A and B are shown apart, each in its own frame.
Chain A
């Protein structure tokens, strides 16, 4: 067993790059998710701006139809799988262990592995641009448009890129669940867990149960495209509706996968800046569970117009409407939390509190859509686009922004500038409503979604113009955010206290910057909102649950990175099977990728790695440096 000073020395010898490539520290991985997610977000956002430029005026020629199709597909796919998910994972990774009083996640190695697999999967999807164009069948990839006969090479990148990144997401989710179930500090019972941990737990569960059907569906589509399977071709006994079912069995839970952690963030930020405990904690927990369950029972509402039959449609319509009930419970609980509180409207709180009305608007249109007869009118119009953007942008993105401003001082040791923050918020918020509110009306007067242009004089010109201007305003808001990040990194004062917001949960009891092992002594939790409890009933510091003793730490490893590369190569080789004039035979790529992937796994399983220990003396020294 290596001792700590040797490890430290070895670490110092490592370059910064190697340090980040081999890290298994949940905090560093959180930051990496944040960066990767942001890059994908900016990329997909840029596509959105291009699409809005195209739609600014009727019959415009800024983009041609094919490029437009590629943009809608990539925009949607990237935003959901490669931007929103990793950004939420960033906070989950960073915050969950801190909030439950753990030193790391349950499987630090798997955590790193999940990140790299997700990252290389996303990269594989993105390189499609260089090989004849991105996928173009929409993020839903309906067959037969996406199947062998019609979809071009881009769809292979979609199928395999998503398959790979999905595996990364899946194993990270398993890791989160085990962390939350097994790694809680003494006294941190399930019903004392912060709501963010609860929603993250439920989201991870949804990932386990929804990404697996997606993996199955993508596998079917891949087999169809690469090996000529007949699942979706009616001539050979196949069925096109099969894909829609599988996709939406995954797809509807997916929207809850994204929105639940955002709910969690809101449920942390609102109490902190209302100076009150969360209203109806237990009801919130159960509402989350019910939403998760119902989220699996409603997917056919995306297929009302397919013609499955009246009974089926009615059953799923009712189930869909039922989701409004637990969601409503949550809305009221947030309102009651603010009610009578001592409110502080900084940027985090502005984002969190404005989340509530925007989300309600999205929910209301959702219930409208769930009524089958009228959905025949709404379906595939801009009304649907407005609906889900109210939820995704007005819900998830605002939640992410709230979380960013709230946790930034803990993650990076300084605040984001408040003035720039306010500016960003108002630009973003006004821009958002300008962009998407009019789209409801556009949809109602019949503008179809996913069509790259429209004719003049149909009453759509003005509203499209407004929508595009709103999109520019929104993007300007994001640019202000980027400026803010750079500006604050240079100019903002360092945060030295552990608890800058005077908040309530455990993550604020750790010193800033957080030592690698998070807690020198694991804290004893005595109540919900443990830090707040100690502020009232104790001396404001967490009581330790254990004497100062050796701390066991995991070793870093380069294997996750290599496995990521291996899967990328392997996946790329599979895509080459469909390339018309590949330079080398695909198997010359598939086999090395396969060997790299499984070889690294073999190495990992054969070499026992017990990590190292930080001894008490070293710990004492380190703790002195911190305080």
Chain B
């Protein structure tokens, strides 16, 4: 039993159908990678060329970052897949609880009184 855990396998248990699904999934991943690159381009261009008004640029690139966060987490890290319910719970809790802390540290340092 124990040494079985350290033994490699002759073959894979994947069926044809599994393989088909997996290849499809892989294509989705590569597409999402292309999309991430695109988002990154947009963000850099928005700032570098000053095409977007500076007041609008910040929220714009933050939204882009949010989208990338989503893609990385749900596609690359598979949060969208089955069996990730608890993982989702914890990450969402982490993000939700980070928010007030981030806001406070950014704005509530007593420089401006809110």
Contact = CB atoms under 8 A, between A and B. Distances in A.
B101 interface: yes
A249 B101 contact: yes
Given A1-B2, A311-B114, A300 B94 contact: no
A181 interface: yes
Contacts of A209: 93-94, 97
A312 B1 contact: no
A613 B6 CA distance: 16
Interface in B1-15: 1-3, 5-6
B113 A307 contact: yes
Given A245-B104, A297-B100, A309-B114, A610 B109 contact: no
A147 to B, nearest CB: 16
Interface in B58-114: 86, 90, 93-94, 97, 100-101, 104-105, 108-114
Contacts of B110: 239, 241, 306-309
A296 B100 contact: yes
Contacts of A612: 2
A608 interface: yes
A205 interface: yes
B1 A1 contact: yes
A404 interface: no
A233 to B, nearest CB: 14
B108 A239 contact: no
A308 B108 contact: yes
Contacts of A242: 105, 109
A241 B109 CA distance: 6
A619 interface: no
A550 B94 CA distance: 39
Name the interface size band of chain B.
20 to 34
Contacts of A144: none
Contacts of B6: 608, 610
16 contacts: A1-B1, A181-B86, A205-B90, A205-B93, A208-B90, A213-B101, A239-B110, A239-B111, A245-B104, A249-B101, A296-B100, A297-B100, A308-B108, A309-B112, A311-B114, A312-B108
A610 to B, nearest CB: 4
B86 A249 contact: no
A309 B3 CA distance: 64
Given A241-B108, A242-B109, A245-B108, 12 more contacts: A1-B2, A208-B90, A239-B110, A239-B111, A245-B101, A245-B105, A249-B101, A296-B100, A297-B100, A300-B104, A307-B113, A610-B5
A192 B105 CA distance: 40
A318 interface: no
Contacts, number: 59
Interface of A: 1, 181, 205, 208-209, 213, 239, 241-242, 245-246, 249, 296-297, 300, 306-312, 550, 608, 610-613
A608 B108 CA distance: 49
Nearest to B112: A309
Contacts of B109: 239, 241-242, 245
Nearest to B100: A297
A611 B2 contact: yes
A610 B93 contact: no
Contacts of B111: 239
Nearest to B101: A249
Contacts of A208: 90
A9 B105 CA distance: 58
Nearest to A613: B1
B111 to A, nearest CB: 7
Contacts of B3: 1, 610
A51 B6 CA distance: 59
Contacts of B112: 309
Contact of B97 (A245, A296, A310, A312): A296
A307 B104 CA distance: 14
B105 A610 contact: no
A311 B114 CA distance: 6
Nearest to A312: B114
Contacts of A550: 1
Interface string B45-62: 000000000000000000
Nearest to A209: B97
A623 B58 CA distance: 67
Contacts of B97: 209, 296
Nearest to A246: B105
A573 to B, nearest CB: 31
Contacts of B94: 209
Contacts of B86: 181
A297 B100 CA distance: 7
Instruction: Pick from B3, B93, B104, B112 the residue with the most CB of A within 10 Å.
Output: B104
A242 B110 CA distance: 9
Given A181-B86, A242-B105, A610 B113 contact: no
A249 B106 CA distance: 14
B106 to A, nearest CB: 10
Contact of B113 (A205, A213, A300, A308): A308
| A-B CB proximity, top 5 nearest | A309-B113, A610-B2, A309-B114, A1-B2, A241-B110
A249 B101 CA distance: 7
Contacts of B105: 242, 245-246
A310 B110 CA distance: 11
Q: Which of A1, A307, A308, A311 has the most CB of B within 10 A?
A: A308
Nearest to B86: A181
A311 B107 CA distance: 13
Contacts of A239: 109-111
A125 B75 CA distance: 44
A575 B104 CA distance: 31
Contacts of B1: 1, 550, 613
B4 to A, nearest CB: 9
Nearest to A610: B2
Tell which of B2, B100, B109, B110 has the most Cβ of chain A within 10 Å. Answer: B110
A550 B1 CA distance: 11
Nearest to A205: B93
B50 to A, nearest CB: 27
A204 B97 CA distance: 15
A216 to B, nearest CB: 10
A597 to B, nearest CB: 26
Nearest to B98: A209
A16 B5 CA distance: 32
A602 to B, nearest CB: 18
B40 to A, nearest CB: 27
